[in-house]
Amino acid sequence: MLKGKNIILGVTGSIAAYKTAGLASMLVKQGCNVHVIMTENATNFINPITFESLTGNKCLVDTFDRNFQYQVEHVSIAKLADVVMIAPASANVIAKLAHGMADDMLSTTVLACKCKKIIAPAMNTNMYENPIVQDNIRICQSYGMEVITPAVGYLACGDVGGRQDAGTGDSF
């Protein structure tokens, strides 16, 4: 089912970024061609070399990186994508997507993609439940983006958070 699919895996500035390495590895094992795009903030939580080692593809971070293989990289990679998954999706990136902001490689590429988009929010429960974040999530959904609801789990701050009806375990 996934074999041969081109997946853009977006990684944002959340402590949950380390979990995306496992996701990237699983997708590669399923035969996917995985291209990871990280925000600058994500690089504070996990190194791009991790994703390059797992996927065999260059991990993209800088929109203006001059060491690339495509003429207009964010557009070229967007055309290849069968699906975009942003996991973890920070409140900041969700807001960018909801309002069409394109100020980094990830948000620029997602705006250029015509394929299915999946967002996996990962943040403190108080942030997630904030009405502004919830409005931004609804806006993303109104544009056809699928949102994976966080489950109940232990958070980096020591809280236990997430939706009580969403199951057990970490939100991502």
Share of the chain above pLDDT 70, in %: 81
The CATH code of domain 6-161 reads: 3.40.50.1950
Beta bridge partners of 92: none
C-alpha to C-alpha distance for 146 and 121, rounded to whole angstroms? 11
The pLDDT tens digits for 73-110 are: 557 789 899 999 999 999 999 999 999 999 999 999 99
Q: What is the torsion angle, in degrees rounded to the nearest 10, for the CA atoms of residue 1, residue 20, residue 136 and residue 97?
A: -80
Helix (H) or strand (E) holding 18: helix 17-29
Strand locations in the chain (E):
6-11, 33-38, 83-89, 116-121, 146-147, 153-154, 160-161
pTM for this predicted structure: 0.84
Cis amide prior to 121 (ω within 30 degrees): no
**Between 75 and 162, the higher pLDDT residue:** 75
To the query of whether residue 140 is one of the catalytic residues in this protein, the response is no
